[in-house]
Structure 1
């Protein structure tokens, strides 16, 4: 009778802080890094950013709603070219990183075309109280040739939903969009239909080209995170060089 040989578990390590300890969060088991507090999408984000030539354009890299651990790594890598922003920068007062104010609804239109070398925002668009497709289009406009647009949104519904009304209660937004301060939810079935036009002329870079399944597993990132339109999704686009 043959004896089954079990495969030893993969040694886990957070790519952001190097910790090998992970803990539970709510009903999810072993998903939060005990060192820096990162979840799967933040660890995946750093894996992606570490593979991109962020310095190539020589222009500033914009990071909106920055994850603290990643912000520190990017600042160390890019120096003065790294720019962190948030709609409410005061919430970063204790983070010891400089964060400026940026309103994606009003400030992008005043920025020069091709003036930014990279733009990163993860789980930000669901909070933005204006046309989300136009925001994406404006970000792509200000990107310099060779610059990257890296972003993620939560997929909470099959079809896109939105209501910018200030009359909705927290309970209404929780029911419709999955969170009390969201103004929209993104549909996993119609995202490309709703927002693909904003990326006309951009090069889409699949995560599978950047990250191997084994590398993701070592960082405790599930394989489904490397496919689009799920709770861990990240999108990577590059503006072509003429």
Structure 2
């Protein structure tokens, strides 16, 4: 199966998973699954603005979206990546905390993308408020936030990735109240399984 981000068919093992990393763009299974399942929403930016929080690298999803006509902005909370999981993020456009995006006006972005970031945010409810605030009418917020069905959200001791929340199924209600519509989309590739929350404004 070719990578939906760069069309490479070469993959490497990572973390005990075979074919985990795309050799062409560095995308992991979760990024490739999102690009595949949300292909229609990522296409044809027509100059609209897209915002990504915590991007993996310049190609995922920045280059991918720019090639499709999006005006793209990348943000990260730290200049060197999450201190618990440091990486090179010198390519990001602005250092911004997801729970305080005062740098951006209301209703600017036609697309918002984030994967495995919200669980690191202390005031995650304010982060959700901010995501909805900067989203434009007709826009979509693509949020992969790990949660467990049949469980209630609880605070957690920071893990090796700096996550401070163990979200339960009640997360869906918290997200849904901020958007006009919410859809859960299954993500799967290889051994990876996740759920993408797609919030939209009319």
TM interval, shorter chain, is 0.7 to 0.9
Q: Distance in 2 between matches of 1:13 and 1:77?
A: 18
More strand, by proportion: 2
Match of 1:192 in 2: 172
For residue 234 of structure 1, the aligned residue among 190, 193, 196 is 196
Q: Distance in 2 between matches of 1:15 and 1:180?
A: 26
Per-residue CA shift, 1:198-241, capped at 9, x if unaligned?
23xx2234537xxxxxxx8xxx825x97xxxxx5221112211x
On the 8 A contact 1:115/1:142 being kept in 2, the answer is yes
Q: Which runs of 4+ in 1 moved over 6 A?
A: none
C-alpha RMSD of matched pairs (Å): 2.9
The normalised TM-score by structure 2 is 0.78
Match of 1:92 in 2: 89
On the 8 A contact 2:100/2:127 being kept in 1, the answer is no
State whether structure 2 residue 69 is matched by structure 1 residue 78: yes
The normalised TM-score by structure 1 is 0.67
Q: Distance in 1 between matches of 2:174 and 2:182?
A: 16
Q: Which has the higher contact order (CA 8 A, sep 6+)?
A: 1
Q: Distance in 2 between matches of 1:67 and 1:151?
A: 14
For residue 145 of structure 1, the aligned residue among 137, 156, 159 is 137
Where does the alignment leave 5 or more consecutive residues of structure 1 unmatched? 1-11, 164-171, 209-215, 226-230
Per-residue CA shift, 1:4-53, capped at 9, x if unaligned?
xxxxxxxx211112221233322333333233332221002222443115
More helix, by proportion: 1
Greater C-alpha radius of gyration: 1
